[in-house]
Copies of this chain bind each other. A is one copy, B any other.
Amino acid sequence: MEVTTADTQATEIREAAKKIITVPPDSFALCPVRDILDRIGDKWSLLSILHLGSTDSLRFNELRKRITGISQRMLTVTLRALETDGLVARTVYAEVPPRVEYALTGLGQSLLAAVIELGNWAAAHAPAIAEARERMGRVAA
């Protein structure tokens, strides 16, 4: 990695960050990024998107089993929110017992790519974070 390239990249990244957090003053509401992060920026949404992205579609209880630790209520709430935002499609089959399938929409798929980046980062830097936590833990103790 040449230094100049790295520097240029760093500046670009900073500019990108600036652009995102800049509120368009003529916008009727607050900046869309802020609004959207409010909605999808929570662990259950991100995890749901990742799990739905890893297959074609999943039934409610199957998804619940896969997202370890999520409660039934939180799963319904999360899926409903994702549905109203157009990220997840909910298909009900009129059978008994009922069968409901959830899948990412096109919009959801496009988000998936970004979430995967986040996931990859987490996987890659988990050791560094664990180390930082331990360092800090010592200080706090």
Contacts and interface: CB of A to CB of B under 8 A. Distances in A.
Interface in A76-90: 83-87
B13 A123 contact: no
Interface residues of A, number: 63
Contact of A85 (B10, B118, B133): B133
Interface string A12-35: 011011111101000000101111
Count of this chain's copies in the oligomeric assembly? 2
Interface string A112-141: 111111111111011011011101110010
Contacts of A21: 47, 50-51, 54, 66, 119
7 closest A-B pairs by CB: A86-B132, A32-B126, A20-B119, A36-B122, A17-B53, A84-B136, A17-B54
